[in-house]
Amino acid sequence: MAAAARSLLAAGRARAGGRRCRALPAAGAAPYCTVAPQQERQPPPDMKSYLWSRYKEAKRVTKELVPSIMSNMLNPDAIFSNNEMSLSDIEIYGFDYDYTLVFYSKHLHTLIFNAARDLLINEHRYPAEIRKYDYDPNFAIRGLHYDVHRALLMKIDAFHYIQLGTVYRGLSVVPDEEVIAMYDGSHVPLEQMSDFYGKSSQGNTMKQFMDIFSLPEMTLLSCVNEYFLKNNIDYEPVHLYKDVKDSIRDVHIKGIMYRAIEADIEKYICYAEQTRAVLAKLADHGKKMFLITNSPSSFVDKGMKFIVGKDWRDLFDVVIVQADKPNFFNDKRRPFRKVNERGVLLWDKIHKLQKGQIYKQGNLYEFLKLTGWRGSKVLYFGDHIYSDLADLTLKHGWRTGAIIPELRSEIKIMNTEKYIQTMTWLQTLTGLLEHMQVHRDPDSQMILEEWKKERKALREMNRNFFNAQFGSLFRTDENPTYFLRRLSRFADIYMASLSCLLNYEPDYTFYPRRTPLQHELPGWSDQLCPGTFRIPFLQETVQIK
């Protein structure tokens, strides 16, 4: 990469002629790539030829860069750091259960969708015709927002801007012009956004779906909306949202999901011996471990026996079920209750959390009092950024690790040659547009419009690499998604699964990569200006492990 950069710098100087590149300009100075005054006053006589020659040169440079980028692939099994953290400081490891210790097969979301759809029909008196809709695992992604009053599902970036082209009413995309008219632009004001835990409450009109279990909920909402719209049925979107939410909740609360999984555990749980390997490795190095989950005792017990073994409780110092997170982290009133071997709740007062026992409910403040496990020596893993991680990092000073299963598939896509070619050219074309927009003559403006259309097509192509409707979980075009903003704030580290820990020693230190801020970029890339556009550095396309 360095050799490529040096050759580009040399080529840029040769092409620039009277241009010169400075490393850092003084305050108020001219741009980094400056042009001799006579050249500024006398643009090339044939702007069409000039611009297209720059375009072709940009294409050539991009093609040369792709092999060097391909040689620095991302590791899907890596752990990524938002905040510096050394495992040598961690004495206690905590875990959520669902989608942290245990992963589920694709059949589970179909089960949840079908069960909730049937509850809508049988208990909420929705039309039986909605039974014709099946679960589509490729429709939604995690982290989307839902406008409860307008019945719109959409993707929002870290700055509260809607990504146009990703707003869906039912199963159909809403035209950009209509979205802009509804929201007076594409920005969603803070008071309309979801609350701290992603919920639509106290005047918030947006709900954010952060849970992996919410994928069937988003799809069911969209399918029922689609049915009403296609059949010209007048309905209240707020009622539909509440009914679907209640039906999804009942699939859990009424035990429909738990009973189905326990009855056919091999169908629904992805057996992974690496879960036991991770726990065994931590135990061998003298680490204490605990489990805090919202799932019920018998369900967790059967699942852990399947993926870890009958002796799974021997690995944990404390096990807490039906914790009711995030209330567990905030409500100081609820005491712990011991659960016996038959699943019966005992009335004994809890003075100590004993190894090998299972406890229900409780609260974190009592947990800290009984265990003394406080501060940054504790690392807790979970998949739900709000319910699992937010309160722990903000209020209690625990270190946090997010489990993001989608990360592995997205990285594999990012490692493909097609994606790298598309992204590198998109970055280069964007830089070309930025530098050439100074040419205001009609011929130049016509060419720039062509380039803008190509850029828009490239962005849509990039979105389709990940999900045809909503794109990547982590990006809205150039900006981070709202999901990534919250992930960056509440998780010290993140990874695709706990098995990634097996790739690191127990004293490993995770260092976040220093990514250039916008005002730092000239010192990193524009000094290598080849005369007309920014070099599409590897750091701008893929992150190197």
Binding residues for GMP, as ranges, are 98
- Cα separation of 109 and 218, whole Å? 11
Three-state SS annotation for 277-304 = HHHHHHHHCCCEEEEECCCCHHHHHHHH
Q: How far is CA 411 from CA 7, 75, 205, 256, in A?
A: 29, 7, 33, 34
Q: Where are the alpha helices (DSSP H) in 124-268?
A: 176-183, 214-230, 237-253, 256-263, 265-268
Binding-site positions for Mg(2+): 96, 383
Closest CA to 227 of 134, 112, 107: 134
Name, in order, each residue with C-beta under 8 angstroms of 400's C-beta and a sequence gap of 6 or more: 379, 380, 381, 382, 388, 389, 392, 393, 490, 491, 492, 493
Name, in order, each residue with C-beta under 8 angstroms of 184's C-beta and a sequence gap of 6 or more: none
Q: Are 211 and 88 in contact (CB under 8 A)?
A: no
Q: How far is CA 358 from CA 29, 313, 350, in A?
A: 67, 9, 12
Pairing of strands 168-169, 172-173: antiparallel
Name, in order, each residue with C-beta under 8 angstroms of 449's C-beta and a sequence gap of 6 or more: none
Report the sign of the C-alpha dihedral through residues 322, 324, 326, 329, in that order.
negative
Question: What letter represents residue 203's amino acid?
Answer: G
Please say if 98 is a catalytic residue: yes
Under DSSP, is residue 472 helix (H, G, I), strand (E, B) or coil? coil
Report the sign of the C-alpha dihedral through residues 275, 276, 282, 285, in that order.
negative
Under DSSP, is residue 321 helix (H, G, I), strand (E, B) or coil? strand
Q: Which helix (H) or strand (E) holds 360?
A: strand 358-361
What are the two backbone dihedrals, phi and then psi, of residue 515, each rounded to the nearest 5 degrees? -90, 130
- Cα separation of 431 and 454, whole Å? 13
CA dihedral 318, 319, 323, 326 (to 10 degrees): 60
- Cα separation of 299 and 291, whole Å? 14
What are the two backbone dihedrals, phi and then psi, of residue 312, each rounded to the nearest 5 degrees? -60, -35
CB burial string 334-359: b at 16+ within 10 A, e below? bebbbbeeeeeeeeeebeebeeebbb
46, 89, 98, 526: the active-site residue: 98
96, 147, 157, 477: the active-site residue: 96
- Of the chain, the end-to-end C-alpha distance in Å amounts to 15
Q: How far is CA 154 from CA 27, 176, 224, 467, in A?
A: 42, 12, 16, 13
- Cα separation of 115 and 74, whole Å? 39
Catalytic residues: 96, 98
